[in-house]
Amino acid sequence: MTPPRVLLVDDDVELSTLLAEYLAREGFDAETAPDGEAGARRALDEPFDIVVLDVMMPGIDGIEALRRIRARSPVPVLMLTARGDDIDRILGLELGADDYVPKPCTPRELAARLRAILRRSAPREGAPDGPVASGPLRLWPGSRRATWHDAPLSLTGTEFGLLEILARNAGRVVDKAELSETALGRPLGRFDRSIDVHVSSLRHKLGPRDDGSSWIETVRGRGYQFVRDPE
């Protein structure tokens, strides 16, 4: 089996080299880029399976690099953010990052998070290919395809997983802890807003219902619900 190809983009060359060496021992094909300009270019020009972007880099930072990547590619992206810097985390998720890891992080944590993102972003071999249908939404989990009102719907791997869970439970509230465990592959942190930001992105992509309400309702203190159309 071909090892997953990972691009580490960080101006801390010593750190990224150490991380690349660790990931190689863990079965990844890891390469490095020293800045956001080179990282965005390589992410778009070469067939990487996932990209790791450090937010704080001179010149083109990780946020701008992510913006450039997302303008042309759905490749999964993991952001490395300063611990406690919620602004960068939220902005990265809004721009289409699949998840983030606060720095400093252990190589083991990084490898585990990469595996989780790759697992939920990959086509599911042998899985029934749906479709999962609710209203104008159609999802094919086996091939990771989605349509909305019969038009292709572009989703990140995380957005696809989140929308699939909500669609399968249309008309029922799914709590945020379950969404985090299933769609992000990790427990919901006390102040973690990742699910909220991904839901906001999905709402933007789906647009409003005919009456102006959202297809994904917030149930305060509980979670989210995909609206089931009346029969």
Every domain of the chain and the residues it spans: 5-121, 132-226
Q: What digits encode the pLDDT tens for the residues 141-193?
A: 888 899 999 999 999 889 999 999 999 999 999 999 999 988 888 888 877 88
Fold annotation for 132-226: Arc Repressor Mutant, subunit A (1.10.10)
Q: Edge-to-edge strands of the sheet including 99-103?
A: 29-33, 5-9, 50-54, 77-82, 99-103
Predicted TM-score (pTM) of the model is: 0.85
Cis? peptide before 230, omega within 30° of 0: no
pLDDT of 126 reads 59
Is the pLDDT higher at 127 or at 180? Answer: 180
- What's the pLDDT score for residue 69? 97
Residue from 17, 90, 128, 10 nearest 100 by CA: 90
pLDDT of residue 182: 87
b/e map 161-183, b = 16+ CB within 10 Å:
bbbbbbbebbeeebebeebbeeb
| Predicted pLDDT at 62 | 94
Per-residue pLDDT, 124: 64
Say which residues have a Cβ less than 8 Å from residue 106's Cβ, sequence separation at least 6: none
**137-140 sheet: strands from edge to edge:** 132-134, 137-140, 145-148, 151-152
Which residues, other chains included, contact 25 with Cβ-Cβ below 8 Å and sequence gap of 6+?
none
Burial of 192-223, coded b for 16+ CB within 10 Å and e otherwise, reads bebbebbbebbbeebeeeeeeebbbeeeeeeb
Q: What fold, for 5-121?
A: Rossmann fold (3.40.50)
- Angstrom distance (rounded) from CA 34 to CA 53: 10
Q: Report which listed range, 34-48, 93-107, 170-184, is most confident.
A: 34-48
